[in-house]
Amino acid sequence: MKLHNLLIALCFLLLSASAFSQSSTQSNFTISPPPLGYPEYPAESSVTQTINMTGAFIKGDTVSMKGFYMGWIPRYGTDWMAIDGLLGLFVMSGDIDVSYGKQSLSMVGFNFTPAMELPVINSDIVKLIIFAGYDLSYSRTTFSTTDPYSAGNKLTWYLDTTQHGPVVGMQCHFIIADSFMISPFFLMKTV
């Protein structure tokens, strides 16, 4: 029964890692930053770069994990289109506490998403953008445990995951004031 609990904890963490690596196997409503940020489409072409970093902490009765996600987004934009590409890296590590001791779990991976944006409406108070691209992600999960049924031998399991598929969406900006904007969006990803 103890091995059964360990496998359930491992499956939970792998599902958490999939959500962390932007898997779209679920349907939900979330208030979060829009996928394109707050892009501009200037009359003259411009090149911009953005770096994002997010920390992640998972804490439970038997699970403790921490890590980060870092993404770099170079972007070339004009008044009628933009091309961008997200290159991201995530790392997580931690412990699972079972009855016979702590076991270690670590995950590392990257994702790459080139995309094209088309501003259908590009006014000073409303922007409506459609976008499409392709997402490729890879992750490796390493789980090390002590076998309780032998003389304490250490077992290490590796799980390599590759996901890829198209990404399409729509994003709208309603500029209410100079420093206040509402940006509803729709994003669909198939892996």
Q: Domain locations in the chain? A: 2-189
Distance CA(183)–CA(181), nearest Å, equals 6
Return the SS3 of 8.
helix
- Confidence at 30, pLDDT banded by 50, 70, 90: low
- Confidence at 101, pLDDT banded by 50, 70, 90: confident
Is residue 104 within 8 A of residue 144, CB to CB? The reply is yes
- Backbone angles phi and psi of 10, in degrees to 5: -65, -45
- Can you read off the two tokens belonging to residue 11? 């499956």
Mean pLDDT of 90-110: 88
Candidates 131, 94, 103; CA nearest to 116 is: 131
Distance CA(177)–CA(187), nearest Å, equals 26
Is residue 173 within 8 A of residue 117, CB to CB? The reply is no
Verdict on whether the full-model pTM lies above 0.75: no
74-96: pLDDT as tens digits:
999 888 899 999 899 999 999 98
Start-to-end CA distance of the chain, whole Å, equals 34
Assess whether pLDDT exceeds 60 at residue 29: no
